[in-house]
A and B are shown apart, each in its own frame.
Chain A
Amino acid sequence: DAMVIQNPRYQVTQFGKPVTLSCSQTLNHNVMYWYQQKSSQAPKLLFHYYDKDFNNEADTPDNFQSRRPNTSFCFLDIRSPGLGDAAMYLCATGLAGGPITGELFFGEGSRLTVL
């Protein structure tokens, strides 16, 4: 089945220790998104890649970076995690440039704990 896969599902890191979360997709979608969701909050868009073009949200801290080496993979790098970065990180894909549906396809998420 075509899908969006996130690894790891659970990540524990120490304060200030860099962490990388990965996302892969078999849908061949041209847009990949990273959302941050804290407990009882709305998922918040951090940034997205439209093909190779990186689009950062204005309020995304510099501590968060992303890489998309090819169509299938996208990474979220947190350079120096703080306690406030503990959250669920959701990767999603979408298809842009054709008929607009707005539908995104989500992975199961990576839950980050910062000690």
Chain B
Amino acid sequence: DQQVKQNSPSLSVQEGRISILNCDYTNSMFDYFLWYKKYPAEGPTFLISISSIKDKNEDGRFTVFLNKSAKHLSLHIVPSQPGDSAVYFCAAMDASGGGADGLTFGKGTHLIIQP
């Protein structure tokens, strides 16, 4: 039973436009949400996070939005650049265990930025 769902396996966006990646979760205990980026033959790298006490977090071209009532978060990348082409994983954590219990991941969305 998937607790973190990324329903779009792939997304194609033109360079310079906005990329929006979506993620849904089912576990109400999740209180930290993260996005990871993965290039082929490399490990995932942290991109941006948000805690459940916020509804928006911004870092340069990347913004994450959290809608707790809908159990939905999204990652916005604007403007999209060719180097953004990668697989993006949504991940969530229940921090009630002190932050050691690890992350639950979605299946990922392959973002392709077209020139």
Q: Which residues of A contact B (CB under 8 A)?
A: 4, 6, 31, 33, 35, 40-45, 48, 50, 55, 90, 92, 94-97, 100-109
Contacts and interface: CB of A to CB of B under 8 A. Distances in A.
Nearest to A91: B43
Nearest to A96: B100
A90 B44 contact: yes
Contact of B99 (A40, A41, A102, A109): A102
A36 B75 CA distance: 25
Interface in B72-98: 89, 91, 93, 95, 98
Chain B contact-residue range equals 20 to 34
Nearest to A3: B43
A61 B47 CA distance: 31
Contact of B102 (A4, A6, A94, A100): A94
Interface in B94-111: 95, 98-108
Interface string B15-47: 000000000000000001110100001111110
